[in-house]
Amino acid sequence: MMILGVESSCDETAAAVVADGRKIYSSVVASQVETHHIYGGVVPELASRMHLEAIVPVVEKALAEAETTAKQIDAVAATRGPGLVGALLVGFSFAKAYAYALKKPWAGINHLEAHLYSVFLDNPAPPRFPFVALLASGGHTNLYRVSGHLQAELLGQTRDDAAGEAYDKVAKLLGLGYPGGAVIDRLAVKGDPSAIQFPRPYLDKNGFDFSFSGLKTAVARQVGENPDPSPRQIADIAAGFQAAMVDVLTHKLLHAAKTCHCREIALVGGVAANRGLNARLTKSARRDGLGLHIPPLSLCGDNAAMIAGLGYHYCRTGQYGALDSDVYSRTRFYASKINCICYVSSLDTAP
């Protein structure tokens, strides 16, 4: 079953063709990072407009690279949420219209479940259920017990900033631009992680929730005390911040595995690209005899291969979308958790 995947939840316009939920035939990602860089973060209205410009060429490129045609596609899968409403609407509406015109079925995919699915793509030895997964990205830091492709139990999440968001905010404080994760990761190896002792925000050491705003404030205090740091001092701050992040993320993931009696763990989302975190988890997993799964770099950040891959399982289980279904924003997503009805107007895209 060949699925065309479409992703537009934030600042990447992506399309991919994946066979039977496993084999990636193409995966095209058009990043808007250059545009948002000067604003120090994603500007939702700009993101929506850029998705509009990119969506058709990106889909055409994905089909061409897969050496297939729209007619040969069996179904279309598109991110339904959570994400920026205006950005989501572009990919989601495109996918619905495209499938309708082609007379093919389509499915609206949960972006978070799709990140969890990224470890199953092009992987001859994927994790066995149940496993514990940490999804760490710019919008989320969630710990799950995953017992099936469409069954993930949320164990804990961040109460304030997401891990990637903390990286981005710290990079901004240090004048390193946006996005900040990769830059801090690179700088961290040049600095001394023990030069500055940043707090490890474990909250309850036995719990699975996270909180990174205090760590970010600790960096802000450092910068406040020394407004003109030398490159050496910036590297030390980056190293100290990264060491605190890696300690907390590693502790929580391993603790979840132990509590849930799982022998396999996964790290997914943009922050999974972090070299320091990768190295620490590899070492800890080997020590504890755990199977560790981290997707390749191309599948850590937002991409459409994970959408198409999971789309296969939505289709296989008959979870097709209706033409009148809508995207769900983060506001709607959280409102549903506390049983609130959320009315989203177009103003919801305001920063």
Q: Which residues bind Zn ion (CB under 5 A)?
A: 137, 302
Stretch that binds ligand KG4, among 118-126, 162-170, 316-324, 326-334 (CB under 6 A): 162-170
Q: Count other Cβ atoms within 10 Å, centred on residue 37.
A: 12
Phi, psi at residue 193, to the nearest 5°? -65, -15
**Contact partner at residue 335 from ligand KG4, Zn ion, none, CB < 5 to 8 Å by partner kind:** none
Q: How far is the CB of 87 from ligand KG4 (least distance, A)?
A: 11
**Contact with ligand KG4 (CB under 6 A) among 180, 240, 309, 321:** 180
**Contact partner at residue 179 from ligand KG4, Zn ion, none, CB < 5 to 8 Å by partner kind:** ligand KG4
Stretch that binds ligand KG4, among 92-100, 159-167, 282-290, 332-340 (CB under 6 A): 159-167
Q: Answer yes or no: are the C-beta atoms of 266 and 175 closer than 8 Å.
A: no
DSSP conformational letter for 130: S
Q: Comparing C-alpha atoms, which of 278, 299, 253, 280 is closest to residue 132?
A: 253
**Contact partner at residue 79 from ligand KG4, Zn ion, none, CB < 5 to 8 Å by partner kind:** none
Looking only at the bridges linking them, the beta strands covering 2-7 and 75-81 are parallel
**Contact partner at residue 91 from ligand KG4, Zn ion, none, CB < 5 to 8 Å by partner kind:** none
CA distance 143 to 141: 7
Stretch that binds ligand KG4, among 32-40, 173-181, 250-258, 342-350 (CB under 6 A): 173-181
Q: How far is the CB of 276 from ligand KG4 (least distance, A)?
A: 8
Task: Tell me the CA distances in angstroms from 84 to 89, 278, 331, one per residue in order.
Answer: 8, 29, 9
Rounded-to-10 torsion of CA 83, 219, 179, 109: -20
Binding site for ligand KG4 (CB under 6 A): 10, 137-139, 164-165, 167-168, 179-182, 185, 269-271, 273-274, 301-302
